[in-house]
Amino acid sequence: MSELRWNPLLGTWTMVASNRKHRPNMPKDWCPFCPGEGKHVPDDFTVFSYDNDFPALTQNPEPPTVDSTGFYKSAENYGKCEVILYSPRHNVKFYELSVHHLVELLNLIAERCTELSKDKKIKYVYPFENKGEAVGVTMPHPHGQIYGYSYVPQKLEVELMNSKKHYEEEGRCLICHINETELRAKNRVVYENDSFMAYIPFFTDYPYGVFVAPKRHLGYLSECTAHERADLARLLKVLTQAFDELFHMPFPYMMVYHQRPVNSPEYEDSKDYYHFHIEFYPPFRDANKIKYYASSEMGAWAAANTSAVEETAPVLRKLIKDILARD
């Protein structure tokens, strides 16, 4: 069974994807993401994308369930799910890839986002990466995913709403304002270059919840120039290395790309008030200590950060400074 079910309490859709429970854990002696091993993966590639074998969303959906009471509503789980392979090397770390390689990866993600947006039934395109068993990863080969939703997910709706409100009240983009504020404060910025900056914002949920934002007002990754993509690649490279050096262990995280909606006339003016950025959600607060998203966070959306970011940002900033000095 695969469909969308409407949650009348929250006013949003839940994806039902029973096929996802059949996803395999990777056998010890075989990886379907390695060159020539999986049914989709070529013998030779640098970066590569293909349709997910266990999609939560599909462009060929089954008819949804009709609720017998007539109260609940459902819809087709229309959309697209793709896998993005970062490298043919099974055990390579993100930061071990060259800047040139990472630019190719960013180019592929941007190209796939543009291609998915050509489907007029898709309203939001969402690239992301889950890294580490702590966030549920079953395939350790470096990879990410892209979801194309037939609706704008609720968290993005809330960001868009508050960004528009800020624009109407202040006459400026909210992320641009946050960028300027963090640069002025300085103590929460962990890295910046010509085009991008990384900081642990004043309000983040996670002790090391870094935001990465372009300094120029952009709505999509695809709008970045070649120079900006190279700068983004350099930033992500050094940041992910610093994460691993933080507790001297592979550091798990969720990395998500927040962009403007597509094919959505109601958000056409979001080009003025919404700003592309990347958010990291790293679950560890200390070595082998998870900062759980527990009852308050999940049940009430009342986030609690166990560390003040003014304490954690200097630690990450020094690690990045030391890494750059070694290079």
Q: Which residues are catalytic?
A: 143
- At residue 230, φ and ψ (nearest 5 deg) are -65, -40
Triad 242, 322, 311: Cα angle to 5°: 60
Helices (H), the chain: 99-116, 154-170, 174-185, 226-246, 270-273, 295-300, 309-326
Residue 36 CA: distances (Å) to CA of 40, 85, 89, 191, 267: 8, 13, 12, 38, 42
What's the CA gap between 112 and 26, in Å, rounded? 26
CA distance 138 to 132: 8
Distances in Å between the Cα of 233 and the Cα atoms of 94, 175, 256 are: 10, 20, 15
Q: Structure tokens of 168?
A: 């109407």
| Cβ burial, residue 223 (10 Å; 0-12/13-18/19+) | middle
CB atoms within 10 A of CB 92: 14
Rounded Cα gap, residues 156 and 270, in angstroms: 12
Determine how β-strand 2-7 pairs with β-strand 74-75: antiparallel
